[in-house]
Amino acid sequence: MFQFHKSPLLRQYAVVIVANLSVLCTGVGLAWPSPVLVKLSAASQTILPRPVTAEEGSWIVSIGFLTGIAANIFIGAVLIDRLGRKLCLLLVILPKFAAGFVFIFAKELWMILLGRALVGASDAGVFVLLPMYASEIASKDIRGSLGTILQIMCSFGIVTMLSMGPFIPYSLLNMIYTGIIVVSTIPLLILPDGPYSLYSRGHKAESLKVLTFLRGSETLANEEMKEYELASETNTQITVKDIVTNRLFLKSLFLALVLGFGAQFVGFNAVTFYLQTVLESTQTSVRPEVASVTIGLIQLFASFCTTMVTDRFGRKPILTVTCVGMGLGMLGLGLFFKLKQEDTVAGFLNYLPLISLILVVYSYSAGIGSLIWVITAELFDDRSRGMGMSVSTITTTLFVFLTTKYFAIVSLALGPATTYWIFSGNCILLCLFIMFCVPETKGKSFAEIQNILRGKKEENTC
């Protein structure tokens, strides 16, 4: 079992950080299209028989989200509660190994699409499993900060790709990418399984052992085991029928789905997946590659900020402030493209898109980008978390597909200015929903959160 220090809090941080190494290569993969699409679209750099078209590029960006939906259905229905969090996590990473080698030897477009499809299926499983795993590992007092480590690792992976992608050849880039996958996966072998996952599969002695190690006290571990036992006595296993009939589960699912919808339709992923392309279209004096790295570093910094403050100020204040920040950033992007269309961009206005992008990236990464995984895992009780996370991630993945696949088409049809202004309006709508409908989960046990959703405490929830 993984152990290195007497402090139980440091043990929890260490376990969650090691688990989230798998998200580092996920971040590398998420940023992969930004530099690679530029290479594949240029006749002098493409490794394909011809440069890819805009339509083909949109499929390269988005196809992984379709396979991610299929993977989540399988993971949620078959793997999560049968195999446990750790083994399931190791299995879902395997397609990413295959994808790395496909990218290295790719000579045709279908090979690129196959690799992206495999990566999407793998990442979908990672984003379902890791928030669940972190929520089981963490004490309630640090659950928020531990949950945001996912975004830190993802942001670090994005920075890594944006820093090297534009400056090295395609083949070398993908060799490094494959190496990162290998190096980030090996440490997962030493991790313990999630304690509730062990308990639910009948391994009560092992669950107590893991909890004692994580909490630093057998007394605290036994108290948490009593919560597991109470949950088992008062609930039957969640089935498809429960989704239709269980009002509390439906309420949690509704909140998770709206948050997932809002997190995607504020436009962040649509912008960042085409980041280098967007920056080149502004034709400012700032080099797109340099701006991409700068924005990636800001995303990483924002994720660190959220980790430090989320258990101090709570989820809702951070989310509402950052939603307003995103709205202002999208408003600025729309204004720039409107002025550009009228040929009135000069002087300081040349830097408006970069400033706006920085505001969008910081606000998203410090807010909904980091906290959605924490809150979604917190909304469901122990027994329904597997199905709830799977269903919400499936729908969120569908939303990501829609925004990334059709962002370029909508932007062309409506104009970039109108598109970004729509995103700005969506940010404000998401802010209002969070203010009036989402419960504050800071410092609360899962049982307390479920009581709030039942209406046993005064909270602004829909």
For 99-128, the pLDDT digits (tens) are: 999 999 989 999 999 999 999 888 888 887
The answer to whether 134 touches 385, Cβ cutoff 8 Å, is no
The structure tokens 């659950």 sit at 143
Sign of CA dihedral 320, 324, 329, 330: positive
CA distance 214 to 3: 9
Residue 228 lies in a domain: no
> What is the residue type of 408?
A
Residue 410 lies in a domain: yes
The answer to whether 72 touches 128, Cβ cutoff 8 Å, is yes
The structure tokens 């660190």 sit at 304
Is 168 strand, coil or helix?
coil
Residue 225 lies in a domain: no
Residue 202 lies in a domain: no
246 phi-psi bin (left φ>0, alpha ψ -120 to 50, beta other): beta
The answer to whether 266 touches 430, Cβ cutoff 8 Å, is yes
Instruction: State CA 157 to chain mean position distance.
Output: 12
Six token digits for residue 199: 């308990």
Q: What are phi and psi of 51, to 5 degrees?
A: -60, 145
Residue 213 lies in a domain: no
Which of 443, 441, 190 minimizes the C-alpha distance to 453? 441
CA distance 79 to 85: 9
Residue 168 lies in a domain: yes
Residue 159 lies in a domain: yes
Measured at the CA of 403, the angle between CA 156 and CA 44, to 5 degrees, comes to 65
Measured at the CA of 153, the angle between CA 434 and CA 261, to 5 degrees, comes to 30
Predicted TM-score (pTM) of the model is 0.73
- Give the CATH number, domain containing residue 172: 1.20.1250.20
Average pLDDT, the chain: 80
132 phi-psi bin (left φ>0, alpha ψ -120 to 50, beta other): alpha
**pLDDT for res 2:** 45
**pLDDT for res 209:** 87
The answer to whether 306 touches 371, Cβ cutoff 8 Å, is yes
Of 43-52, 94-103, 226-235, which range is least confident?
Answer: 226-235
Residue 348 lies in a domain: yes
**pLDDT for res 115:** 93
What is the band of 392 on the pLDDT scale with cuts at 50, 70, 90?
confident
**pLDDT for res 275:** 61
Across 76-91, average pLDDT: 74
CA distance 138 to 16: 8
For the ranges 244-248, 269-273, 292-296, 376-380, the maximum mean pLDDT occurs at: 376-380
Give the model confidence (pLDDT) of 188-245 as tens digits. 888 888 787 788 777 888 888 888 888 887 788 888 787 777 766 555 555 556 555 7
The answer to whether 143 touches 374, Cβ cutoff 8 Å, is yes
* Sequence-ordered list of residues with C-beta below 8 angstroms from that of 182, at least 6 positions apart, any chain: 97
Residues listed for the chain: 462
What is the band of 428 on the pLDDT scale with cuts at 50, 70, 90?
very high
Instruction: State CA 52 to chain mean position distance.
Output: 28
Residue 126, domain extent: 8-193+235-454
Residue 314, pLDDT above cutoff 70: yes
Six token digits for residue 165: 């992608």
The structure tokens 């279209």 sit at 281
> How many domains, the chain?
1
